[in-house]
Amino acid sequence: MGGRDVLHDLVVVGAGPAGLAAAVTAAGFGLRVAVLDTNARAGGQYHRHRAGRPPAWAPLARLHTVEHLAEHRVWAVERGDDHFTAHAVAGERDGVAVTVRGRRLLLATGAYDRQLPFPGWDLPGVFTAGGAQALLKGNGVAPGRRAVVAGTGPFLLPVAVGLADAGVRVLAVVEASRPTPRAAALAPHSPARVVEAAGYAAALARRRIPYRTGRAVIAAHGDGGALGSVTVARLDADWRVRPGTERELACDTLAVGYGFTPQLELAGQLGCASTPDGFVAVDTRQATDLPGLYAAGESTGIGGAQLSQVEGELAAYAVAGRTPPKALLRRRARLTRFAAGLRALYPIRSGWSSWSDEDTPICRCEEVPRGRIADAARHGADDVRSIKLLTRAGMGWCQGRMCAEATACVLSDVLGRPIAAPAPTRAIAVPIRLGDLAQGAS
């Protein structure tokens, strides 16, 4: 069994903007820090970069008190009397079990794309918006030649521009929401974000890429197992299709995303408190209700890279027992208000569930269609766990990350009352092999 006898002052899980900021700030205070991350290169999705290209921050290797453990998948965390233990598997194929201990633990696990199922969303050529961007940023690979970018939220803009810069013909950006003039009121809270969005909008205009609001891709079509076209339709205020507005666009790539879902499996293992809307609950120091446990970034509320970075810095100040600058606190307040404003501008409306039919796969891993989930609900299943036991929805590789929320929505439609997806409380947070698990227990 691999192991590390060092007791670090701080163990950080996740090397995105929040984790990086926390590690750098804590190292500046002389703390010994370990940073564990799944990826080969630090940066997370926002700072993702190709091998051989310089990162957008000072490399962690230059910080003598920071140990960067790349390609370490943390599958469990434990809380002891005076320290935390992170259990990880190092490497992809021939994994080695590793344990890392620290007096304090910071969860900076980020988020992943939220997907809303529709007919054909499982076709080759249909990507999450983040997946398409990861191919471009991390590998320099264009996912196709003719693309449509769809979903909701400002993240669609950099994805569309990135695809166009890579030589992909972007036919349209299809935005389900209808951002109102109230968006201008957000400018004082984060002028840099507004300028960034304006730059993307100008880039779309220069390339003559249409930006259509109040529309969605409601179906994808393909022959021979590959994407050939998508159906775009106008939506009403509840996101139901306006009859007669359907239009088919020929394309080989669809990048689709409806915001982000926080990655909470490790927080669920430790049992820390959550907010009513399903994020890790933290105080003004980024501390959870468990002593010594902190959280920062998207797991505490979807707010973007700048807010994540500020929260990571504040967590490091708390771990070091230092008083943070008032300017840093004010910046977090401004960015938090900006993030709340964006969520109000780009909500998910319940009418999206009307896009799917009985044959639409809701759980792709186990190939469970909407009709089977609806039948289980009509036969007495009244929560997501019961649906899982009766249909296997959520039992596959992703363990419900992609389908639990959609399953709850289908169940709500059948039962006529709101059903919430359960919070993740898995003993094993990420997929690992039985051999890795046995090695860690030896």
Backbone φ and ψ for 308, nearest 5 degrees, come out as -60, -40
Task: For residue 428, give both structure tokens.
Answer: 């094993």
Going by pLDDT thresholds of 50, 70 and 90, the confidence category of residue 436 is: confident
Question: Which of the 8 DSSP states describes residue 102?
Answer: E
Give helix 370-378 / helix 404-415 axis angle, nearest 10°: 50
pLDDT at 84: 98
315-347 pLDDT, tens digit per residue, is 999 999 999 999 999 999 999 999 998 888 999
Q: Report pLDDT for 1.
A: 41
Residue 2 domain-assigned (yes or no): no
- The pLDDT tens digits of the residues spanning 93-111 come to 678 999 999 999 999 999 9
Q: Could you say which DSSP state residue 364 is in?
A: T
CA 252 to CA 391: how far, in whole Å?
Answer: 32
Which range has the worst mean pLDDT, 41-50, 122-131, 339-348? Answer: 41-50
Q: For the residues 188-215, what does the mean pLDDT come to?
A: 89
Q: Return mean pLDDT, the chain.
A: 91
Q: Does the residue 441 lie in any domain?
A: no
Residues 121 and 87 in one domain: no
Whether residues 282 and 396 fall in one domain: no
pLDDT at residue number 191 = 80
Res 56 pLDDT > 70: no
Pair (62, 164) in one structural domain: no
305-320 helix and 17-28 helix, angle to the nearest 10 degrees: 30
Per-residue confidence band for 139, with pLDDT thresholds at 50, 70 and 90: confident
Host H or E run for residue 282 = none
pLDDT at 210 exceeding the cut of 50: yes
Instruction: Answer for the pair 46, 305: CB distance below 8 angstroms, yes or no.
Output: yes
Residues 64 and 177 in one domain: no
Pairwise CA distance, residues 179 & 214, whole Å: 9
223 with 136, same domain: the answer is yes
Q: How much is the pLDDT for 54?
A: 67
Question: What whole-number percentage of the chain has pLDDT above 70?
Answer: 94
CATH number of the domain bearing residue 268: 3.50.50.60
Quick check: 163 and 291 in contact, CB under 8 A? no
- Band the pLDDT of 138: cuts 50, 70, 90: confident
Report d(CA 315, CA 296) in Å as an integer. Answer: 7
For residue 154, being part of any structural domain is answered with yes
Pick the residue with more confidence: 256 or 193? Answer: 256
Question: Is 130 in the same domain as 243?
Answer: yes
Residues 234, 330, single domain; the answer is no
Pick 6 or 189 by higher pLDDT: 6
Residues 395 and 410 in one domain: yes
| pLDDT recorded at residue 5 | 74
Residue 434: inside a domain, yes or no? no
pLDDT at position 430 is 85
Given 343, 372, 387, the domain boundary residue is 343
Q: Tell me the C-alpha distance between 154 and 284, whole Å.
A: 27
Question: Is pLDDT at 23 greater than 70 in this prediction?
Answer: yes
Q: Domain span at residue 407?
A: 350-415
Let me know if residue 440 belongs to a domain: no
342, 348, 143, 340: which is closest to 258 by C-alpha?
348
Average pLDDT score over residue span 129-155: 93
Give the total number of structural domains in the chain.
3
Q: Tell me, what CATH number does 369's domain have?
A: 1.10.10.1100
The yes-or-no verdict on residue 398 having pLDDT over 60 is yes
- Note whether 99 and 214 are same-domain residues: no
Task: Dig out the tokens for 437 from the structure.
Answer: 């698990």
Q: Do 253 and 141 sit in the same domain of this protein?
A: yes
Centre a 10 Å sphere on the Cβ of residue 99 and count the other Cβ atoms it contains. Answer: 16
Report the pLDDT value the prediction gives residue 46, as an integer from 0 to 100: 74
Among 237, 257, 277, which residue terminates a domain?
257
In tens, the pLDDT along 252-286 reads: 999 999 999 999 999 999 999 999 989 999 999 99
Claim to verify: residue 35 and residue 12 sit in the same structural domain: yes
Domain-embedded: residue 422: no
Indicate the SS3 state at residue 128: strand
Pick the last residue of a domain from 257, 284, 303.
Answer: 257
Verify that 133 and 243 share a domain, yes or no. yes
The pLDDT of 416-437, averaged and rounded, is: 83
Closest CA to 245 of 223, 215, 289, 268: 215
Lowest mean pLDDT among 36-45, 294-303, 377-386: 36-45
Residues 336-379: tens digit of each pLDDT? 999 998 888 999 999 999 999 999 999 999 999 999 999 999 99
- Segments in 210-358 forming alpha helices (H): 265-270, 305-320, 326-345
SS (H, E, C) 36-99: ECCCCCCCCCCCCCCCCCCCCCCCHHHCCCEEEECCEEEEEEEECCCCEEEEEEECCCCCEEEE
Contact between 155 and 213 under an 8 Å Cβ cutoff? The reply is no
